[in-house]
């Protein structure tokens, strides 16, 4: 389209220039034609008037003197006439008058030389009984100049007889000048030319250029001349010609303007397209956002809300735009919110750049909105200043997040956390309770047996009774104290506190548990053997817990021998050995029924027990305690690989403790 337009413009401009030039040309040509026509007519009229003026000289009755006077007058009034001759019928000159406004005519050229011409014209005139011109001829003067002349032969008639001729010599240049005097030639050079083109005379102030030439035939009696008007204007050149220059300038300006317009148009179109794209992008972004967007002017009136915001508060955009107290503010908080808004929208300090968000804006603040249906929703608001193209702040843009779900999840997770903690506490309490009941069994059982023994003694008192009773009471006291320690240590153990570890001699450990072990052994008829070398170093341990381990293992061993083992073989062996520079090994060996593979698998599992009254916590506690000291608890059953068939295989539990 643009190419077509430009082409059209070029064509129109070309045409314009062409038309202007051709108009110029035709105007110049027309002018030349007009001048030629005018001057040719005027020349013809001059000649006709001249011939009329000659009439008085042709009267038959005119005297020679009168003729001379009249001829003189005529030569004065008509400068184009140079010479007048009155001739007889044979051609002889009877009277002669010559103009005094020029040099004498026939000096270098003799009159007789042109006589044939005159004869021809005169015979023509005689035949036609009308004036006739000779051909033109050149009369040279002294000094190199000359003049082109024509002779007019007028027949003199008297009563129908030819009485002679009047011969008048016409100067062609003068004839042209006199014609020009009546018809202005303007910027043209005028000349009389012969039909063959040779120039006879010229007049006019300018020189013709030969471009715009017009010719007209001037009919003279018996002869015709051609008048040529030649304009001094040359072919119109493009630039110096004002009109063309104007047209050209205008068209160039027009072209430039069209180009500029086109470029501007294209840029505008591009900018518009980019703008439309950016707008569509922004619109899509706003519509797809789940974050509510709200813009306010500096007076706090809402100027914009996005669909997400409308959905959040449940009001249509029309109900929100322009409001300073929006309908989603809780009624009882309007005053508080208004004050808060006023503080936030207050003009900022001069040194603070308009575009920097406030601290509160960056970090956001939480507030409460009311939906249209009355539901209250907690929201987070993040604000940033809205700055126009000139860097002037025009308002505030806020991003609003509905944090209802977030709050709900937080509440839920808080509740769950609480429940979890409660159940964890419960589990701990349960664990502690079971451990306590397990560990307290022994001291309580011991106290119970001391108590029943004391009662027995009191029923049949003798001399030893007071001493024995005192001892029994002491033991009861010790066991009660021990129970207290157990409770403390189990409590500590459950709380996973740092255990109170100390260096303890191995003998001391065994001594502490032996009375209880013996008490139990006596009940089931088992013997206790000790294997304690002197050189065993002290170990570093929590004394009470390790005593519990020893007690548990001993109790398990005695219990294992209670059923199957014959009374004679019921021996429980407690041993201590140094196995390594840093480790001391304790062993508890019984002669019980041993541990089968299916029991061995689940031996240390808490609450696994094969006994009706067993809790199944003993071994799991032992292992935990030993491992907490850095040692290991293992067992072997049968004790001897080649035990006699029929006899009990027995079991040995071993554990290690670090040396002190």
Ligand X SMILES: Nc1ncnc2c1ncn2[C@@H]1O[C@H](COP(=O)(O)OP(=O)(O)OP(=O)(O)O)[C@@H](O)[C@H]1O
Q: Which does 615 bind (CB under 5 to 8 A by kind): Mg ion, ligand X, none?
A: ligand X
Contact between 228 and ligand X per CB under 6 A: no
Given a contact cutoff of 8 angstroms between Cβ atoms, the answer to whether 155 and 123 are in contact is no
Residues 560-589 that bind ligand X (CB under 6 A): 560
Q: x/- site string to ligand X, residues 404 to 443, per CB under 6 A?
A: ----------------------------------x-----
Which residues of this chain interact with Mg ion, rule CB under 5 A? 556, 618
Contact between 591 and ligand X per CB under 6 A: no
Contact between 614 and ligand X per CB under 6 A: yes
Q: Which residues pair with 572 in a beta bridge?
A: 528
CA-CA distance, 607 to 626, in Å (whole number)? 18
Given a contact cutoff of 8 angstroms between Cβ atoms, the answer to whether 610 and 531 are in contact is no
State the nearest-atom distance from the C-beta of 556 to Mg ion, in Å: 4
CA-CA distance, 328 to 398, in Å (whole number)? 15
Q: In the set 528, 603, 632, 660, which binds ligand X (CB under 6 A)?
A: 603
State the nearest-atom distance from the C-beta of 590 to ligand X, in Å: 5
Choose among 314, 320, 293, 287: nearest CA to 382: 293
Residues 436-495 that bind ligand X (CB under 6 A): 438
Q: Which does 304 bind (CB under 5 to 8 A by kind): Mg ion, ligand X, none?
A: none
Q: Which does 610 bind (CB under 5 to 8 A by kind): Mg ion, ligand X, none?
A: ligand X
Contact between 556 and ligand X per CB under 6 A: yes
Closest CB to Mg ion among residues 124, 553: 553
State the nearest-atom distance from the C-beta of 375 to ligand X, in Å: 58
Q: Which does 326 bind (CB under 5 to 8 A by kind): ligand X, Mg ion, none?
A: none
CA-CA distance, 117 to 127, in Å (whole number)? 16
State the nearest-atom distance from the C-beta of 524 to ligand X, in Å: 13
End-to-end CA distance of the chain: 105
CB 59: neighbour CB atoms within 10 A? 13
Is the backbone of residue 300 left (phi > 0), alpha (psi -120 to 50) or beta? left
State the nearest-atom distance from the C-beta of 606 to ligand X, in Å: 8
State the nearest-atom distance from the C-beta of 602 to Mg ion, in Å: 14
State the nearest-atom distance from the C-beta of 378 to ligand X, in Å: 54
Contact between 611 and ligand X per CB under 6 A: yes
**Is the C-alpha dihedral spanning 328, 334, 340, 344 positive or negative?**
positive
Give percent helix, percent strand, percent coil of the chain, each to the nearest 5: 50, 25, 30
Is the backbone of residue 160 left (phi > 0), alpha (psi -120 to 50) or beta? left
Contact between 610 and ligand X per CB under 6 A: yes
DSSP for 470-493, please give it: HHHHHHHHHHHHHHHHHHHHHHHH
Given a contact cutoff of 8 angstroms between Cβ atoms, the answer to whether 150 and 172 are in contact is yes
Among the candidate windows 195-203, 488-496, 508-516, 553-561, which touches ligand X by CB under 6 A? Answer: 553-561
Closest CB to ligand X among residues 357, 614: 614
Q: Which does 494 bind (CB under 5 to 8 A by kind): ligand X, Mg ion, none?
A: none
State the nearest-atom distance from the C-beta of 560 to Mg ion, in Å: 9
Closest CB to ligand X among residues 314, 614: 614
Choose among 196, 173, 189, 214: nearest CA to 36: 214
Burial of 649 (0-12, 13-18, 19+ CB in 10 A): buried
Contact between 70 and ligand X per CB under 6 A: no
Q: In the set 618, 626, 655, 657, which binds ligand X (CB under 6 A)?
A: 618
**Is the C-alpha dihedral spanning 489, 495, 499, 500 positive or negative?**
negative
Choose among 133, 251, 261, 253: nearest CA to 200: 133
Nearest-CB residue for Mg ion: 618
Q: In the set 248, 487, 538, 615, which binds ligand X (CB under 6 A)?
A: 615
State the nearest-atom distance from the C-beta of 404 to Mg ion, in Å: 57
Burial of 162 (0-12, 13-18, 19+ CB in 10 A): middle
Furthest C-alpha separation in the chain? 230
Q: In the set 105, 225, 244, 595, which binds ligand X (CB under 6 A)?
A: 595
State the nearest-atom distance from the C-beta of 419 to ligand X, in Å: 31
Closest CB to Mg ion among residues 520, 556: 556
State the nearest-atom distance from the C-beta of 504 to Mg ion, in Å: 23
Q: Which residues pair with 379 in a beta bridge?
A: 367, 402
According to DSSP, residue 20 is labeled H
State the nearest-atom distance from the C-beta of 432 to Mg ion, in Å: 18
Closest CB to ligand X among residues 208, 618: 618
Hey, what's the torsion of the CAs at 228, 233, 238, 244, to 10 degrees?
-100
Number of residues that bind ligand X (CB under 6 A): 22
Closest CB to ligand X among residues 323, 609: 609
Counting every residue written for the chain, the total comes to 660
Q: Which residues bind ligand X (CB under 6 A)?
A: 438, 552, 556-557, 560, 590, 592-593, 595, 599, 603, 608-611, 614-619, 651
């Amino acid at each position: 389209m643009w190419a077509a337009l430009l082409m059209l413009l070029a064509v129109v401009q070309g045409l314009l220039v062409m038309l202007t030039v051709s108009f110029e040309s035709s105007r110049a040509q027309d002018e030349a034609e007009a001048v030629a026509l005018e001057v040719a007519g005027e020349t013809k009229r001059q000649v006709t008037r001249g011939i009329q003026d000659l009439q008085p000289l042709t009267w038959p009755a005119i005297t020679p003197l009168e003729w001379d006077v009249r001829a003189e007058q005529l030569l004065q009034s008509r400068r184009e006439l140079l010479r007048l001759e009155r001739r007889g019928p044979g051609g002889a000159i009877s009277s002669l008058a010559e103009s005094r406004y020029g040099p004498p005519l026939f000096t270098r050229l003799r009159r007789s030389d042109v006589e044939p011409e005159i004869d021809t014209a005169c015979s023509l005139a005689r035949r036609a009984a009308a004036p006739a011109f000779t051909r033109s001829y050149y009369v040279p003067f002294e000094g190199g100049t000359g003049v082109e002349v024509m002779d007019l032969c007028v027949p003199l008639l008297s009563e129908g007889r030819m009485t002679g001729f009047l011969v008048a010599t016409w100067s062609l240049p003068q004839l042209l000048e006199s014609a020009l005097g009546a018809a202005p030639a303007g910027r043209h050079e005028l000349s009389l030319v012969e039909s063959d083109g040779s120039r006879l005379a010229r007049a006019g102030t300018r020189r013709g250029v030969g471009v715009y030439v017009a010719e007209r035939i001037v009919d003279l009696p018996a002869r015709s001349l051609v008048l040529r008007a030649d304009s001094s204007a040359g072919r119109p050149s493009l630039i110096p010609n004002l009109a063309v220059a104007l047209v050209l300038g205008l068209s160039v300006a027009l072209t430039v303007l069209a180009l500029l317009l086109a470029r501007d148009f294209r840029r505008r179109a591009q900018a518009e397209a980019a703008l439309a794209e950016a707008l569509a992008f922004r619109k899509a972004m706003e519509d797809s956002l789940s974050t509510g967007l709200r813009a306010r002017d500096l007076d706090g009136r809402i100027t914009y809300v996005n669909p997400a915001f409308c959905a959040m508060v449940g009001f249509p955009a029309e109900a929100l735009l322009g409001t300073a107290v929006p309908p989603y503010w809780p009624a009882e908080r309007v005053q508080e919110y208004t004050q808060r808004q006023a503080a936030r929208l207050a003009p900022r300090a001069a040194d603070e750049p308009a575009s920097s968000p406030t601290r509160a804006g960056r970090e956001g603040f939480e507030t409460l909105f009311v939906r249209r249906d009355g539901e209250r929703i907690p929201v987070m608001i993040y604000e940033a200043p809205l700055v126009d193209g000139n860097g002037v702040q025009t308002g505030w843009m806020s991003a609003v997040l509905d944090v209802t779900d977030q709050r709900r999840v937080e509440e839920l997770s808080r509740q769950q956390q609480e429940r979890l903690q409660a159940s964890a506490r419960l589990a701990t309490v349960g664990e502690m309770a079971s451990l306590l009941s397990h560990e307290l069994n022994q001291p309580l059982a011991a106290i119970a047996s001391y108590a029943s023994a004391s009662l027995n003694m009191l029923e049949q008192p003798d001399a030893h009774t007071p001493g024995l009773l005192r001892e029994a009471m002491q033991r009861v006291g010790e066991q009660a104290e021990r129970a207290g320690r157990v409770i403390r240590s189990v409590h500590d153990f459950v709380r996973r506190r740092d255990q109170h570890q100390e260096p303890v001699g191995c003998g001391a450990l065994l001594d502490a548990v032996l009375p209880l072990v013996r008490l139990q052994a006596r009940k089931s008829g088992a013997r206790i053997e000790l294997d304690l070398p002197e050189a065993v170093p002290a170990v570093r341990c929590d004394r009470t817990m390790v005593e519990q381990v020893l007690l548990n293992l001993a109790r398990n061993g005695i219990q294992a021998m209670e059923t199957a083992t014959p009374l004679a073989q019921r021996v429980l062996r407690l041993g201590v050995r140094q196995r390594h520079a840093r480790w001391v090994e304790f062993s508890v060996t019984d002669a019980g029924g041993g541990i089968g593979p299916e029991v061995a698998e689940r031996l240390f599992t808490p609450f696994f027990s094969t006994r009706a009254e067993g809790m199944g916590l003993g071994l799991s506690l032992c292992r935990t305690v030993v491992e907490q000291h850095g040692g290991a608890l293992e067992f072997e059953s049968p004790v001897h690989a080649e035990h006699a068939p029929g006899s009990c295989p027995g079991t040995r539990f071993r554990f290690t403790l670090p040396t002190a």
